[in-house]
Structure 1
Amino acid sequence: MASDDCGCRARQEWLNGQVPGLGDAVAEVAEPIKKEMDKMPEILRPDMKSLVWLAIGAVVVPLVLKKL
């Protein structure tokens, strides 16, 4: 078993054993979903500018509000 193998091939073969062609159909639907899930962390990663503004808002704004 390869280190990047999630056990998908074994499940696909098991499903094909239960209902011929079912594992292949599930793999056909699941493969594009898996590829998109691999991209998600990259998309959701915030950039540094937004993190700086978040820190400024969390620290500076309460200090300014206390002085008012």
Structure 2
Amino acid sequence: MTDPLAAEARRLRVVEQLSVRDIRARLGVGRNRVHELLRGFRPRSGPGAPTPRTGCAPRRWRSGLKVGR
């Protein structure tokens, strides 16, 4: 059976794109509890999502050759 608190934490993470800090504040639980609720859950990032370091979309690879250079 799914914990309703876990379902809410996952919804906040995916739909509202909140950080762990924001989820903690919204649900009123500790950091470890939020990580337990989100354990095994990884939101899907779409293709072309910006990388944290550069802010640019990742390069595409086709047949071992770089495309769009």
Q: Taking structure 1 as the reference length, what is the TM-score of the superposition?
A: 0.29
Q: Quick check: which one's helix share is greater?
A: 1
- Decide which structure has the larger Cα Rg and report it: 1
TM-score (norm 2): 0.29
